[in-house]
């Protein structure tokens, strides 16, 4: 039996995960009472390649989005040769999968010891800063590790504004005037100067990138130092479900968004600068779904065996409507209603915490009942990495599924 493996175990079973044609078959065969992740390697490959086909620069997968070896190994196999990493554990994971990959250490605030490991043990030469003291910290560690400043590219992270589902500029980034000083300082200490920004996550409008590029243009012109690379960060959105009560334009795909960003790159005079992007969500979101079970139906509320402390916290933070598909338990008496009519159900998470209620409903047939399974699609981003042991409920089972998820 190889369908259930501990993803924290150092190695997977020889034969790999048990394969099913689709999640329905997996649910009916395994009848799981705890969540089961359905991994779709073909989807992962397609989405990673779709991004790389439209982005001419270097694609550095953001490891934090989903650091599972199933994901990282597959990305390395299809030739992803750069990773955005933020900690020694992430260095190790990326290196284990892709020994020759370039690692970009783009967290602007790092521990001294982690910087030393990055420089001395992992050959990392690309790092982000948003303050002069971070530059001094890196320089000190470089000296201790015997690494010359000229080998380093220090990316000055710009503060940006956007309406992303997740706004990150409140935490990181230098204001334009400060960024000018930082670039000049990087140049003076003999390192290569780069510019970077990260406009947020699930960013639906290209204007966020265009505005950041405009700021980068201004900073570059004032600083008057050579710019070795421009890293446009992550944030490219994935297509989730549709909440019929809300009007919204369809989410752009990388094929829609990237060409528009590239036009802004040209307009702002960066066409001659090597580009890096750090996509996470756009590459992995669709590569995993999770089969959850309805533990109890109470009117329009469904109590399920997963929630915000396990696989679904990202949808809670980002107020995402997740696409779902009902897998009725055969032989159960259906709840009253029309099996073809879908209605919104409030989703109550598995833990005892009263915060553990999803911020958006699942749209399901009226007839859903206790004991049914629900396949929740597109949870590949920020699910496995954010699982907790809270209440002793840590989902940890994986199968492989061939068919793409369909709501």
Ligand X SMILES: *Cc1c(COP(=O)(O)O)cnc(C)c1O
Binding site for ligand X (CB under 6 A): 62, 64-65, 84, 106, 198, 201, 233-236, 278-282, 381
Instruction: Report, in Å, the least distance between residue 231 CB and ligand X.
Output: 8
Nearer to ligand X, 62 or 257 (CB): 62
Instruction: Report, in Å, the least distance between residue 285 CB and ligand X.
Output: 8
Nearer to ligand X, 64 or 220 (CB): 64
Instruction: Report, in Å, the least distance between residue 105 CB and ligand X.
Output: 10
Instruction: Report, in Å, the least distance between residue 280 CB and ligand X.
Output: 3
Instruction: Report, in Å, the least distance between residue 283 CB and ligand X.
Output: 8
Nearer to ligand X, 238 or 368 (CB): 238
Instruction: Report, in Å, the least distance between residue 327 CB and ligand X.
Output: 28
Nearer to ligand X, 62 or 75 (CB): 62
CB atoms within 10 A of CB 188: 11
Nearer to ligand X, 233 or 241 (CB): 233
Instruction: Report, in Å, the least distance between residue 396 CB and ligand X.
Output: 23
Nearer to ligand X, 359 or 385 (CB): 385
226: tokens are 């050579």
Nearer to ligand X, 165 or 368 (CB): 165
């Amino acid at each position: 039996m190889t369908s259930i493996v501990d993803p924290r175990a150092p190695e997977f079973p020889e034969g790999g995960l048990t394969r099913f044609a689709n999640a329905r078959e997996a649910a009916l065969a395994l009848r799981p009472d705890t969540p089961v992740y359905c991994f779709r390697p073909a989807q992962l490959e397609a989405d990673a390649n779709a991004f790389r086909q439209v982005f001419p620069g270097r694609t550095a997968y953001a490891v934090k989005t989903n650091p599972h070896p199933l994901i990282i190994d597959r990305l390395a196999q299809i030739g992803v040769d750069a990773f955005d990493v933020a900690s020694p554990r992430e260095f190790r994971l990326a290196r284990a999968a892709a020994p020759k990959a370039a690692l970009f250490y783009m967290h602007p605030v790092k521990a001294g010891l982690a910087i030393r490991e990055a420089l001395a043990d992992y050959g990392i030469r690309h790092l982000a800063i948003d303050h002069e003291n971070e530059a001094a910290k890196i320089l000190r560690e470089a000296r201790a590790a015997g690494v010359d400043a000229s080998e380093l590219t220090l990316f000055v992270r710009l503060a940006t504004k956007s309406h992303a589902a997740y706004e990150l500029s409140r935490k990181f980034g230098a204001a334009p005037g400060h960024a000018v000083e930082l670039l000049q300082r990087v140049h003076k200490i003999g390192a290569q100067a780069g510019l970077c920004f990260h406009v947020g996550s699930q960013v639906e409008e290209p204007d966020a990138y265009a505005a950041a590029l405009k700021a980068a243009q201004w900073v570059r012109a004032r600083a008057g130092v050579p710019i070795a690379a421009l890293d446009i960060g992550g944030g490219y959105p994935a297509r989730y479900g549709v909440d019929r009560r809300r009007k919204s334009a369809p989410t752009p795909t990388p094929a829609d968004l990237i060409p528009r960003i590239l036009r802004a790159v040209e307009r702002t005079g960066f066409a001659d600068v090597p580009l890096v992007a750090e996509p996470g969500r756009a590459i992995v979101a669709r590569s995993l779904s999770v089969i959850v079970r309805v533990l109890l139906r109470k009117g329009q509320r469904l109590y399920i065996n997963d929630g915000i402390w396990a696989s679904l916290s990202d949808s809670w933070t980002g107020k995402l409507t997740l696409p779902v598909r009902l897998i009725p338990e055969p032989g159960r008496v259906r709840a009253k209603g029309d099996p073809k009519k879908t209605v919104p159900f409030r989703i109550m998470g598995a833990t005892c915490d009263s915060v553990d209620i999803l911020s958006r409903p699942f749209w399901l047939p009226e007839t859903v009942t206790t004991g049914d399974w629900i396949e929740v699609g597109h949870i590949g981003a920020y699910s496995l990495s954010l699982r907790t042991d809270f209440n002793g409920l840590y989902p940890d089972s994986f199968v492989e599924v061939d068919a793409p998820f369909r709501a």
